[in-house]
Amino acid sequence: MAGNVGRADDGHGYYLEDLAVAMTAAFAKTITDADIVLFAGVSGDTNPVHLDAEFAAKTRVKS
């Protein structure tokens, strides 16, 4: 199984005993505006420089 990429055939991942040295996996995600807003809410970082492009453009950040 070494070198396999992705998930097991059943679509539910691998069990610990099925993992082998040199197996790899990949994950990719496009970050959306909703992700930014949700992260701001969870982290408490609601700085308008991060959330408001118009506000940020008036600062030295200049999104």
Instruction: Count CB atoms within 10 A of the CB of residue 57.
Output: 11
Residues near 5 by beta carbon (within 8 Å), at least 6 away in sequence: 24, 25, 26
Interval 52-63: pLDDT, tens: 989 999 999 765
Q: pTM value?
A: 0.53
Interval 27-37: pLDDT, tens: 899 999 999 99
Pick the closest to residue 29 from 20, 38, 21, 19 (CA basis): 38
Across the chain, mean pLDDT equals: 84
**Residue 23: pLDDT band by 50, 70, 90 thresholds?**
very high
Q: Answer yes or no: is pLDDT of 1 > 50.
A: no
Instruction: Tokens for 58, please give them.
Output: 């008036």
Residues 63, 49: Cα–Cα separation, whole Å: 8
Pick the closest to residue 50 from 29, 35, 32, 36 (CA basis): 36
